Structure formats: C-alpha cells, structure tokens
Structure 1
C-alpha cells in the first residue's frame, strides 16, 4: 500500500462525535449570556422560558395537530424509559432492535418490566430485523437510526396508519436528519445533545393524541418513580406539556437549546436540517465508494445512516486479521487524528466491529467532512503499517 502524504488542510471544526455532537455553526459561549440563571425555574419568568422551548420545538418539528411536547430528565434514555414505564402493559408489545440502545429497550421490556406478552426481533450489527413481522394490534418499539451501527429504517411505510397499538420511536440520532412521518409515531423521543448539538441530561418526549388517551385511561401494574410519573390521582400532569418539568432543569442548557432551535428555524426549519445531513453523509459515502479499505457497517444501502455513519475495515489483510490487529488499526487512527487536531471521537462504539463512526448530522459542515477524508486515508496507512509490524 502506497502511503499518502500527510494532508495540509484540516477541518475547521474537527468535531465528529456521535454524542454529544458538534454545536451548530457559528456557536459561541456568549450566546448563553441571556440565560435565566440564579432564579427558580418555577418562577413565572422561568416557566415562560421553558414553555418557549416547548412551543419552538412544536413549531420547528411541524407537529401534527394534537401532538404534545414535554421536557423530561435523563436525556433520550430517560425520555424513552419514562414512556415505557408509563405506557406499556396495556396490550402485547413487539420490540425491534439492531443496535446497543435498541437492545437496552428490549432488555428493559423483558427483564425490568417483565412484560408477559412480549415478542422480540433482533438483528446483528449491519442489518435490520424483519420489520414486516410487526403486529400493529400491539405496541411496537424501535429505534429509527441505530447510533452504534449506522443502520436506519428507510421510511415509515411499514407502520400501519390504522394501528390499534402505540408506536414508540427512539429518534435521537435521526430527528432533524431523516424524513420522519410523525403521523405514524405515537411516542417519539430525542435528546438535545444529539439532534441539535445541545448540552446533555435533558430529553424530549413527543406524544400523539392516542398516547395521551392511553395516559388518561391506563395505569401500569408496576411502580413508577416520581421522576418518571406523568400522572397523579387527578389524572395526567397536563402542565408537563406546557414546559413544567418533573425535576430541576439547567436553565443554561435550556438557553443553549433555544439557540439551536432558533438556528434551525433561521436556516429553513426541519426541511433544511434534513438537507444538510444528507449532503454531509453523501460526501462521506461518495468517498467510501472510492476507497478500498473502508465500507459501511450497514449492509443494505437503503439503510445507510445520514448521521452516525459506521465504517468497518474492508481490506482483506486487515479485515481478516486477528481482532487485536483490527483494534490496533482503529486506536492508531483515532490517536493520530486527535494528535493532529483533524478529528475527535470517531472510534467505533464499544462492542461493535473495529472501525470508525463519523457523525454527519445537521450541525456539521459538509466542507469539514470533505477536509476530513484525506486525513482518514493518511491515518489508516500509518496505523495499518504500525499494526502489521506488531
């Protein structure tokens, strides 16, 4: 293999982490100067700021009529588990999983909630399970984009419009990058730190009128912690969908989220954010097509992620080598790229095949993806030689 020369031009913003993700272009710490800090989030002004975050979310996402939004604790994990604990158990459940986080929801359904009528559908990294097996007389849980595998569902055509059960979608690494038909989703969750490069610890819960009706009429048989509980003796906590939070939020993080929403609205809303992510991932996949040492972990091109693009090593001398060699190449690449300030946090997720994971979401600039590509070739050649020498 002929070693390429070290590139001279670096990405202006070498931040390709799949969470927390890159801040929006042009972000500076002083955008937080007006944050509502040192005051109670329960004050009239604090509640108004939180309500603004909910209202702007509804506007940017162009939610269908009757859909409601809540700010909840625990990032996307908290949001999805909160939905599971409050809403599951009324009917049978189908869980589809093909990445680490989808398997978390599968495990919770089986081992924590111990649902008596549970069907599970799992797939190896790089593949989707058979979505055609979903029974929409039951509740159906899935992750739109597998953050750790780079495998996404191509569309929502497989989801029944006249379903009886609820559809739960973990959309944290898909929203603002994929065209999600929200009319097909009853419970949608995401986090600020993924979707728009916000800060961690806060999750978003979007629920349809059908999910709200379940909340009104059903109480699960298991205990629901106060931090998760969306109801009390009087019924649904309606003010949660007006910005009132279940615990104390960071108003600094709220201000950062409001800034990200304002940026998204300014560039043209969710349609524009989807276009940006598509351009970023297209630049990376075009390079992969020309590259003999890397291939997408996602096997079917229809399932290639537009955000968390996962790559594995394709060159036979490396792909067929012992795992220690493959890991050596991965860690060698990551170390060199970080030392050069060309890319940060792009190693494959733990437990996944050795390779890279490069975030192409809407807050990344296409020119930075393009500037990264020759650095990947250089780092691979250097790390490959070192790993084969042992």
Structure 2
C-alpha cells in the first residue's frame, strides 16, 4: 500500500530526488565511488556545493550583496549563532514569541545580551500571530519565526523595522514568493522543505557582519564560513547534495511561483474539509493558518479511536499532533502531492459517515 507521509520533519521529498540520491550513494557521477566517500575538496563535490548555492540565489531571486551558506547544527545552532554575530557587546535584541522554536531562539540570545519579547501568543497556546505590537528603536535586530510547525500558524505580513530583521524560515522556505531584500539574515533547517536533516541554509546580507564588537568562536562566525565557501570544516556532503537535487526539482517544476500555487490549492482543499466537517475544528486562527502545517482537533475526542483506524487503513502516516497541542497535524510541504491530501480528506469524510 502507498504511504502518504504527513510527517512534520524530516519531511517528504520528491520520489525522483530520493532515487537520484540513492543511486549517488552507490555510484556518484559514474566515478564508481560513493558520494559519501569522495573528498569534499574534489572538483565533483565543489561543483555540487556551487550548484546548490547558485540554485538558492536563483529560486529566491537574491540580489547582489547576499551570500548563501550550507552549515550544520540545524536551526537550533542558528539560535545562538545569529545572536553571536549580530548582537553587539552590551546590546539588545527584540523577539516575537510565536511558538516553541522562537522560545528556544530567545533563550539562546539571552546568553549574550538583553532580549525584549515584544509580543507573544503563548497565553492561547500559540494559536495566532500577534499583531499591533511596537518595535523598539534601540535594538540590534528583530527575530521572528515565519512558520510555526507545531501550532500551524504562519506570518502573512512581516515585521517592519529600521533595525536588522532576522527570520527562522525552517518550515516554509521555498514555499512562497517573497522579497528577500526585507531580510538581513534568514536561516532554515533543510529537513522541512529542502532536503534531509543534517544541513542548514543560511542567507546573510554581507554588509551586516563584523559589527558586533565581540570575539566569535570560529565555528559560530558567519564570516569565516563565507570566506571558506561553506567549507570551513567538512560539510555535510549528503544533505547538501540532496538539497541541490530538490532545488533542481523545484526549478524544473516552475520555481517558487509554481509551487506556491500548488501549496495554496493543497491547503485550501484540506482547510475546506476541516471547516465543513462538523467532527473537526481547526486549531490555528483562520487568518494565520499555515500553508505548510495544518493543525486540527476532533470536536469529540472520544471518537478518536474510530478516526485513527480509518486514516491508518488509508495508508496515512505522521498526522498525530505535537504533544503540546494534541489532535492532528498534516504537514503538506512542497513535495506532498495533492492526491495525498485528497486521501486524507476522503478519510475525514468516511469518518463522518461512520460516526
């Protein structure tokens, strides 16, 4: 039976990408050597790294003055790394608290300076995006998380500040067209929408670096990684390669504009069923609903055993909600086909008939 993988991450990837990646592990580029055993300094892998970075710039329409890095440590390391590079000695940063990941990010920043949480939706279990907040003028940067995987909320409009703007875009990068000139630093773990776990994409405006006035440990210094073309240390060879394949797949599909249209169609199909079916209720505020992570609950939790049996029988995997929210979460990243969304909708409608 075909499996329909709604896992929140590591994410679903295109089948053709998985096949290409599997072949490369056995025999990369006809070298009769595995991708994961060749030197990262070889011309073959340097070409992979250059292609991956070039595809990021092309797909996101990045202007001159922005650099692309493939690093390690996930968004979790970026929580600290971004603060190290951008918060000045005795400095201050502002954070929007919209979920578990932004909470972890501001916790790391507090190790280096003063952190002002200017808005939070914690009091309602992060089921909405705060609005109408004031942004201080005496900050080094403002940090926010564009899409909140656990709670199913997503920024539709971004904060505007004269300070640096930093965005954790781990779970919705490459999913919609954006003007990246509004950001000074963007980072994203690959494992949501770009590739396997193990590499982190960083997009940084070159001119903002080297101004913190602090000594930065080498592995946390963006400038050192830029100077070494993402190879200050041995890079995560396999995740970078699979990310390159996924980005090429996206380009061949028509780029971010094309995938945004498909993502909107997928989300509309599933949200329409949640709103129509009296046995379900959406978790996130309607105006803040994510196109990537659809969170919903049963109107009667006592019926959960029946619904769980139905979706399991349909070959659906990974839709149990996060423990902090409960209910269900369907993660519908770029590679999720609309046919799988329809299978879930059919299961929801079958559930309605059986109850």
Task: State the Cα distance separating 1:76 from its structure 2 match.
Answer: 2.7
Residue 79 and residue 109 in structure 1: after superposition, are their counterparts in 2 closer, same or farther (change >3 A)? closer
8 Å CA contact 2:70–2:240 kept in 1: the answer is: no
Deviation at 1:179, TM superposition (A): 3.4
SS in 1 for 2:5: coil
Structure 1 counterpart of 2:157: 155
Q: Is 1:351 the counterpart of 2:353 in the alignment?
A: no
Task: Kindly report structure 1 stretches of 4+ aligned residues shifted beyond 6 Å.
Answer: none
- SS of equivalent to 1:40: coil
Q: Describe the SS at the equivalent of 2:210.
A: helix
Aligned equivalents of 1:195, 1:137: Cα separation in 2: 35
SS at match of 1:204: strand
Gapped runs of 5+ residues in structure 2?
A: 29-34
2: CA distance, partners of 1:39 / 1:88: 38
Counterpart residue number, 1:6: none
TM-score by length of 2: 0.86
Alignment partner for residue 180 of structure 2, among 179, 182, 186? Answer: 182
Q: Secondary structure at the match of 1:368?
A: helix
Partner Cα separation in structure 2 for residue 256 and residue 237 of structure 1: 21
Q: Distance in 2 between matches of 1:225 and 1:74?
A: 15
Specify every segment of 5 or more residues in structure 1 that has no aligned partner in the other structure, as ranges: 1-9, 319-325, 386-390
Q: 1:335 to 1:251 in 2, by over 3 A?
A: farther
Cα distance change on mapping 1:219 and 1:273 into 2, 3 Å: farther
Distance, in Å, in 2 between the alignment partners of 1:173 and 1:237 is: 23
Per-residue deviation at 1:293? 2.0
Contact 1:19/1:194 (<8 A) preserved = yes
Aligned to 1:4: none
CA distance in 2, matches of 1:246, 1:79: 16
Which of 330, 335, 349 aligns to 1:363? It is 335
Q: How does 1:204-215 map to 2 (within 5 A)?
A: 204-208=201-205, 212-215=206-209
The size of the alignment, in residue pairs, is 341
Give the structure 1 partner of residue 270 of structure 2.
Answer: 284
Please, what is the CA RMSD of the aligned residues? 2.5
Kept after mapping to 1: 8 A contact 2:263/2:334:
yes
Distance 1:120 1:288 in 2: 32
Q: 1:230-249 counterparts in 2 under 5 A?
A: 230-231=222-223, 236-240=224-228, 242=229, 244-249=230-235
Give the 3-state SS of the residue equivalent to 1:57 in structure 2. helix
- 2:7 aligned with 1:14: no
Q: Please report how far the alpha carbon of residue 252 of structure 1 lies from its aligned counterpart in structure 2 after TM superposition.
A: 2.5
Deviation at 1:332, TM superposition (A): 6.8
Given the alignment of the two structures, is residue 219 of structure 1 paired with residue 205 of structure 2, yes or no? Answer: no
Match among 251, 272, 282 for residue 258 of structure 2: 272
Describe the SS at the equivalent of 1:167: strand
SS in 2 for 1:71: strand
Normalised to the residue count of structure 1, the TM-score between the two structures is 0.79
Aligned to 2:32: none
Question: Structure 1 330/134 Cα, relative in aligned 2: closer, same or farther at 3 Å?
Answer: farther
Q: Distance in 2 between matches of 1:186 and 1:205?
A: 11
1:250 positional shift: 3.4
Query: In structure 2, do the counterparts of structure 1 residues 117 and 283 end up closer, same or farther at CA, with 3 Å as the change threshold?
Result: closer
